[in-house]
Amino acid sequence: MSTADTGTRTRRTPGLVPVTETLSTVERRPEEPSDRPAPLAPQAGRRAGAFWRLLVSELSLTFHRPRNLAMLAALATVPVIMGVSLRLFAGDDQVGGMIAAVAGNSLMLTFLALSALVLLMMPIAVSVVAGDALAGEAGGGTLRYLLAAPAGRTRLLAVKYLNAVVYAYAVTAVVALSALVTGLVLFPAGDVVLLSGTTVTMTDGLLRIALTVGYVGFALSAVAAVALAISAFTEVPIGAIAGTVVLIIACQVLRAIPALEAIAPYLLPTRFTGFDAVLRSPIDTGALTEGLLTFGAYIVMSLSIAWAHFTGKDVTS
Amino acid sequence: MTTVAQEAGAPTGAAPPSDPGAAIVTSGLTKRFRGGQTAVDALDLTVPRGSVYGFLGPNGSGKTTTIRMLLGLITPTGGTCSLLGLPLALALPRVGALVEGPAFYPYLTGEANLRRFDAADPTASGATVRRRVGEALERVGLTAAAGKRYRNYSLGMRQRLAIAAALLGPRELLILDEPTNGLDPQGTREVRALVKEIAAGGTTVFVSSHLLAEVEQMCTHAAIMRTGRLVADGTIASLSGGLATRVSVETPDAADAARVLAALGLADVRSAAGAVTAELGGHAPERVNAALVGEGVAVRGLAVVRPSLEDVFVGLTGEGFDVDG
């Protein structure tokens, strides 16, 4: 018994309460009740605190893992490469459309980068985190100890999903920020000419970027829900990750087949680039809403499947 | 442990019981896996509070499946089980568990791993986690390795860390599945001492093992499993008491000795070349010896053989056991 000996222990000796308690010992007092078993019916506040604590633990695990940080770093470099190469070729008169728009305004690079990366790279990054969420714990055997702690199956599922959502928004924010900074450094700032030809102020442009980040983050949250659902069914994380990525690519292929046009609106990737609605004036809220509803439907459906399976699953790993 | 620490209620000591009943009760507990294999078959088990309960059986006899059902990791296909007389979600924070070997995050340190599992317990407080993790690590002798990544831990250190994780809070019940697996003899002794120390504090310990000697040394009670069924249970004394204490006489005059023993009224006299054994019953061994010598039997050795759990097990199942404990 060497650490934290005198401070905490003599204080609790019956009949030995020091008369001159320092402020710090008074502050440490609330620790004591937790030495005893918790009350049979924990209060709602305490329960929320415990949920938050597990979520923080999950987030810290996710954002300390070199793999997850490397994916964020890789995604952050893509807009830089795009910006630099556009800058080098901007003098060329052949270019037009989106690329010309980027060359003309710093904010447009953000939209270009997001629409390029949202199709595959960003979903892959999110699939890695969400697909690993349950399967990784099961494969490593840590799931049985989390559940015996007891983390609670529904609670753990909720924490895992929220964690994946935070990562999805982190991915989106990193790409957007990297593109924004690159754009501001390499291209002229100022009023933004939208796809519909209208010109809006830079502040308005930034607001539209914020809207886009919200939309893309939600799209990736839908990807995360699908990956988490697959993750609940396996103990092999790479299987859950690959499964999600294959699903996304398969949807992209189906979407490209003209004969299957009828099902295209129901495929997740069809809606990924729906944020170009914010580049019109007025903003095409109908298209945005449709996209968000599709994502919402995928989230509800996938989480229901994940919950139904995970809460009744035998954990034998 | 100083007296002061005891009075302060060290978190690894016993927690006041939430229910005066048994620590573990199972009734008709059954698990049939898909594919038809019955891993646990109608298990009725009652683990009294304050006992150190050995859960014995060869590998594959359903011990781990039973423990997984107790902890809510797998759903029974029949019967019920309860811990501490509470609903599972309320019972588990009072239960420390080691299930089928250690499992941790290899890229985290030992300390960070314990913090992670502590965060999963909704009743544990983040304000005290530092102290509780420190004490749990100290209890298993891992303080020096607290900052080392789990990846670099030896097998014995991993096992200790798993035991530390089971001791993160005040526990009324510890469920330890093969706690000495992978430990060297010194580590095994330490775990046994730790289990005794924890039990002395009033915590019920349920420990599974395939090592008979280990259970005999640590436990007050035991249950013996075989192919998913309970074949015997009770206190160690009552289990061994089921078999009689025997006297074994080493002598060149086996036939004479057998006659004398039978004349004394000893039951089940068996003679072999150079040795005779019989159930001692209520006879004093020294009297038996005097009678033998008095009748002119050359006694080279006389021993009282008390039955071990292994004899009980072999008697019950006709099966041998891994006894390299």
Question: Could you please report the per-residue DSSP string of A181-250?
Answer: HHHHHHS--S-EE-TTS-EE-HHHHHHHHHHHHHHHHHHHHHHHHHHHHHHTT-S-HHHHHHHHHHHHHH
Q: Mean pLDDT over residues B113-119, rounded?
A: 97
Tally the domains of chain B: 2
Check pLDDT > 70 for residue A144: yes
Does B108 map to a domain? yes
- Please indicate, yes or no, whether residues B277 and B147 belong to a single structural domain of this protein: no
**Picking from A8-12, B177-181, B240-244, which range would have the lowest pLDDT averaged per residue?**
A8-12
Contacts of A49 in chain B (CB under 8 A): 126
- Please indicate, yes or no, whether residues B268 and B127 belong to a single structural domain of this protein: no
Whole-number Å distance between alpha carbons of B65 and A243: 30
- Please indicate, yes or no, whether residues B264 and B229 belong to a single structural domain of this protein: no
pLDDT tens column, A58-105: 999 999 999 999 999 999 999 999 999 888 876 665 656 667 777 778
Question: What is the reported pLDDT for A197?
Answer: 79
- Inter-chain residue contact B131 with A8, CB threshold 8 Å: yes
- Please indicate, yes or no, whether residues B27 and B101 belong to a single structural domain of this protein: yes
Q: Mean pLDDT over residues B30-52, rounded?
A: 93
- Inter-chain residue contact A145 with B18, CB threshold 8 Å: no
Whole-number Å distance between alpha carbons of B80 and A125: 43
Q: What whole-number percentage of chain B has pLDDT above 70? A: 90
Question: What is the reported pLDDT for A37?
Answer: 47
β-pairing, B173-177 vs B204-209, is parallel
Minimal-distance CA residue of chain B relative to A66: B107
Give the model's confidence band at B269: pLDDT under 50 very low, under 70 low, under 90 confident, else very high.
confident
Cis peptide, bond prior to residue B307, ω within 30 of zero? no
The CATH code of the domain that includes B250 is: 3.30.70.100
- Please indicate, yes or no, whether residues B83 and B210 belong to a single structural domain of this protein: yes
The CATH code of the domain that includes B166 is: 3.40.50.300
Does B325 map to a domain? no
Mutate to test the interface with A, among B94, B116, B175 (most CBs of A within 10 A): B116
Question: What is the reported pLDDT for A94?
Answer: 60
Q: What whole-number percentage of chain A has pLDDT above 70? A: 83
Does B269 map to a domain? yes
Give the model's confidence band at B151: pLDDT under 50 very low, under 70 low, under 90 confident, else very high.
very high
Helices A153-186 and A108-117 sit at what angle, rounded to 10 degrees? 140
To the nearest whole angstrom, how far is the Cα of A49 from the nearest Cα of chain B? Answer: 8
- Please indicate, yes or no, whether residues B179 and B279 belong to a single structural domain of this protein: no
Domain boundary among B206, B240, B274: B240
Where in the sequence is the domain holding B213, given as residue range(s)? Answer: 3-240
Contacts of B107 in chain A (CB under 8 A): 65-66
Does B175 map to a domain? yes
Question: What is the reported pLDDT for B213?
Answer: 80
Q: Mean pLDDT over residues B303-310, rounded?
A: 79
Question: What is the reported pLDDT for A93?
Answer: 58
Give the model's confidence band at B273: pLDDT under 50 very low, under 70 low, under 90 confident, else very high.
confident
Contacts of B131 in chain A (CB under 8 A): 4, 8, 31
- Please indicate, yes or no, whether residues B221 and B271 belong to a single structural domain of this protein: no
A251 three-state secondary structure: helix
Contacts of A138 in chain B (CB under 8 A): none
Check pLDDT > 60 for residue A32: no
- Please indicate, yes or no, whether residues B117 and B231 belong to a single structural domain of this protein: yes
To the nearest whole angstrom, how far is the Cα of B324 from the nearest Cα of chain A? Answer: 27
Residue with tokens 């620790």: A31
Mean pLDDT over each residue of chain B, to the nearest integer = 86
- Inter-chain residue contact B95 with A155, CB threshold 8 Å: no
Give the model's confidence band at B41: pLDDT under 50 very low, under 70 low, under 90 confident, else very high.
very high
Question: What is the reported pLDDT for A91?
Answer: 61
Q: Which of B1, B103, B123 sits opposite A144 (nearest CB)?
A: B103
Contacts of B181 in chain A (CB under 8 A): none
Does B285 map to a domain? yes
**Picking from A41-45, A249-253, B57-61, B282-286, which range would have the lowest pLDDT averaged per residue?**
A41-45
Q: Which of B99, B100, B122 sits opposite A152 (nearest CB)?
A: B122
- Inter-chain residue contact B73 with A14, CB threshold 8 Å: no
Does B213 map to a domain? yes
Q: What whole-number percentage of chain A has pLDDT above 90? A: 67
Q: Mean pLDDT over residues B72-81, rounded?
A: 95
Q: Mean pLDDT over residues B293-319, rounded?
A: 79
Do the Cβ atoms of A274 and A287 come closer than 8 Å?
Answer: yes
**Picking from A45-59, A188-202, B224-238, B289-303, which range would have the lowest pLDDT averaged per residue?**
A188-202
Q: Tell me how many degrees the CA angle B242-B247-B249 measures, rounded to the nearest 5.
A: 155
Of residues A114 and B246, more confidence is placed in: A114
- What is the count of residue pairs from A and B with beta carbons less than 8 Å apart? 146
Q: Which of A10, A150, A316 sits opposite B92 (nearest CB)?
A: A150
- Please indicate, yes or no, whether residues B92 and B228 belong to a single structural domain of this protein: yes
Give the model's confidence band at B322: pLDDT under 50 very low, under 70 low, under 90 confident, else very high.
very low
pLDDT tens column, A151-180: 999 999 999 999 999 999 999 999 999 999
- Please indicate, yes or no, whether residues B124 and B69 belong to a single structural domain of this protein: yes
- Inter-chain residue contact B120 with A57, CB threshold 8 Å: yes
Residue A74 half-sphere exposure toward CB, CA atoms < 13 A: 11
Q: Mean pLDDT over residues A119-140, rounded?
A: 97
Q: Mean pLDDT over residues B267-279, rounded?
A: 85
To the nearest whole angstrom, how far is the Cα of A295 from the nearest Cα of chain B? Answer: 30
**Picking from A101-115, A131-145, A300-314, B125-139, which range would have the lowest pLDDT averaged per residue?**
A101-115
Contacts of A151 in chain B (CB under 8 A): 120-122
Domain boundary among B191, B222, B240: B240
Does B182 map to a domain? yes
- Inter-chain residue contact A316 with B124, CB threshold 8 Å: no
Domain boundary among B189, B215, B240: B240
Does B92 map to a domain? yes
Question: What is the reported pLDDT for B280?
Answer: 83
- Please indicate, yes or no, whether residues B147 and B256 belong to a single structural domain of this protein: no
Q: Which of B2, B72, B75 sits opposite A147 (nearest CB)?
A: B72
Do the Cβ atoms of A179 and A109 come closer than 8 Å?
Answer: yes
Minimal-distance CA residue of chain A relative to B10: A35
Check pLDDT > 80 for residue B313: no
Question: What is the reported pLDDT for B210?
Answer: 81
Contacts of B17 in chain A (CB under 8 A): none
Q: Which residue pairs from A281-290 have beta carbons closer than 8 angstroms and sit at least 24 positions apart in sequence?
A: A281/A194, A281/A196, A281/A198, A281/A200, A283/A208, A283/A211, A288/A211, A288/A215, A290/A265
Give the model's confidence band at B307: pLDDT under 50 very low, under 70 low, under 90 confident, else very high.
confident
Question: What is the reported pLDDT for B318?
Answer: 61
Tell me which residue of A289, A315, A148, A144 sits closest to A215, measured CA to CA: A289
Cα B176 to chain centroid distance, Å, stands at 8
- Please indicate, yes or no, whether residues B59 and B95 belong to a single structural domain of this protein: yes
Check pLDDT > 50 for residue A22: no
Strand partners, B224: B56, B232
Q: What whole-number percentage of chain B has pLDDT above 90? A: 47
Contacts of A56 in chain B (CB under 8 A): 119
